[in-house]
């Protein structure tokens, strides 16, 4: 769908629920074809260590999406106090399991387990999150196998709405391995001119307010608002936070004060319903992609 991005028109809501539903439907058909050709479905192993409530919700969503798209899921839960060797043995077992095409270790890990070290135990051809050094290297060479799901989801939303970033100035706020760095690379690959800002950037607004496109992944609730963006900008909010609401319940919000953008930005992602649902859709796509590559080798 090509977006009407004319200045002065109402802000376009970039609806991640809609885009992820479209992509999951298309994916389900491809998963069925894979199963017919190979006599088994693509398989995703999800490893959750500890009882972090947010991680439990995310993992639940990933397992559910596997069921919806026809991917076989293998769920492994270990206690927070599990031994490093226990986790390593599990990952090594999954590396050799021919039913498992992709392995995801939910982050963050409990204190005492080093995320980068644990990720390095995943066989490169099963790195469904694209987070190992091997996958990152391939991505930066422009030859990715699996791309980190959140930045891949951002690109998929832009593509769905016909928003080209070629020739645009883009600012990525955040430099994590999981979002900021791969996001910046994908935007460069799509011919944007990219600036990476972070917690030590002096005068952040000077950068964000000049940009045609801003991807915000700072991890601070409602951190940026209208005055931080130029009129007509495209604003992508990767943040997700649970905040107390007036009625005593809790409410989800992002890194951006979305309601301030109406009548100002050209297009923006809400929270919830923006980038979040895309992450899971891209994980499913990555699983099928690895499965196709794995059966071909």
Closer residue to ligand GUN (CB): 150 or 266: 150
Residues 107, 123, 188, 204: which binds ligand GUN (CB under 6 A)?
Answer: 107
- Is 64 part of the annotated catalytic residue set? no
- Is 30 part of the annotated catalytic residue set? no
Does residue 228 bind ligand GUN (CB under 6 A)? no
Sketch the per residue contact string, 268 through 297, with ligand GUN: x for CB under 6 A, - otherwise. -----------x------------------
Q: Find the shortest distance in angstroms from Cβ 105 to ligand GUN.
A: 6
Q: In this structure, are strands 241-244 and 250-253 parallel, antiparallel, or unpaired? A: antiparallel
Query: In which element (H, E) is residue 205 found?
Result: helix 204-208
Instruction: Judge whether 268 and 235 are in contact, CB under 8 Å.
Output: yes
Q: Find the shortest distance in angstroms from Cβ 61 to ligand GUN.
A: 11
Closer residue to ligand GUN (CB): 71 or 211: 71
Question: DSSP class of residue 73?
Answer: E
Q: Could you give the 3-state DSSP secondary structure of residue 74?
A: strand
Does residue 104 bind ligand GUN (CB under 6 A)? yes
**Per CB under 6 A, which region of 105-113, 161-169, 210-218, 252-260 contacts ligand GUN?**
105-113
Please, which residues have CB within 8 angstroms of residue 164's CB and are 6 or more apart in sequence?
158, 190
Residues in 122-181 that interact with ligand GUN by CB under 6 A: 129, 149-150, 178
Torsion, Cα 109 111 116 121, to 10 degrees, reads: -70
Catalytic-labelled residue, pool 24, 126, 127, 129: 129
Angle between helices 53-69 and 275-296 (to 10 degrees): 60
Closer residue to ligand GUN (CB): 47 or 196: 47
Closer residue to ligand GUN (CB): 45 or 178: 178
Integer CA distances (angstroms), 228 to 158, 164, 173, in order: 21, 22, 12
Closer residue to ligand GUN (CB): 168 or 239: 239
Integer CA distances (angstroms), 209 to 64, 131, 235, 238, in order: 39, 30, 11, 18
Does residue 49 bind ligand GUN (CB under 6 A)? no
Residues 45, 66, 100, 105: which binds ligand GUN (CB under 6 A)?
Answer: 105
d(CA 110, CA 52): 8
226: alpha, beta or left, given left = phi > 0 and alpha = psi -120 to 50? Answer: alpha
Q: Could you give the 3-state DSSP secondary structure of residue 187?
A: helix
Residues 106, 266, 286, 294: which binds ligand GUN (CB under 6 A)?
Answer: 106
Catalytic-labelled residue, pool 24, 101, 106, 255: 106
Q: Find the shortest distance in angstroms from Cβ 172 to ligand GUN.
A: 16
Integer CA distances (angstroms), 38 to 45, 95, 98, 264, 294, in order: 19, 19, 12, 50, 11
- Is 52 part of the annotated catalytic residue set? no
| Residues forming the site for ligand GUN (CB under 6 A) | 104-107, 129, 149-150, 178, 279
Q: Which residues are catalytic, by number?
A: 62, 106, 129
């Amino acid at each position: 769908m090509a977006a009407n991005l004319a200045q002065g028109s109402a802000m376009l809501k970039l609806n991640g629920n809609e885009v992820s539903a479209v992509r999951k439907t298309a994916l389900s058909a491809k998963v069925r074809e894979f199963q017919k050709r190979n006599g088994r479905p693509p398989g995703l192993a999800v490893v959750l260590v500890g009882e972090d409530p947010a991680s439990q919700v995310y993992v639940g969503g990933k397992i559910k999406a596997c069921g919806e798209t026809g991917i076989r899921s293998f769920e492994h839960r270990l206690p927070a106090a599990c031994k490093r060797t226990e986790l390593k043995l599990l990952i090594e077992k999954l590396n050799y399991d021919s039913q498992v095409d992709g392995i995801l270790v939910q982050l963050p890990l409990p204190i005492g387990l080093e995320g980068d070290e644990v990720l390095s135990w995943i066989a490169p051809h099963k790195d469904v999150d694209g987070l190992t050094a091997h996958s990152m290297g391939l991505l930066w060479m422009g030859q990715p196998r699996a791309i980190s799901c959140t930045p891949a989801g951002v690109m998929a939303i832009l593509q769905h709405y016909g928003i080209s970033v070629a020739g645009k100035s883009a600012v990525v706020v955040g430099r994590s391995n999981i979002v900021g760095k791969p996001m910046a690379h994908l935007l460069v690959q799509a011919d944007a001119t990219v600036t990476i800002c972070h917690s030590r950037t002096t005068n952040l607004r000077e950068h964000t307010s000049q940009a045609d496109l801003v991807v915000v992944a700072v991890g601070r609730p409602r951190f940026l608002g209208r005055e931080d963006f130029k009129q007509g900008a495209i604003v992508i909010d990767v943040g997700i936070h649970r905040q107390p609401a007036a009625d005593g319940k809790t409410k989800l919000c992002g890194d951006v004060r979305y309601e301030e953008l109406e009548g100002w930005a050209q297009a923006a992602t809400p929270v919830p319903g923006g980038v979040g649902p895309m992450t899971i859709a891209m994980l499913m796509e990555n699983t099928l992609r690895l499965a196709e590559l794995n059966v071909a080798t």
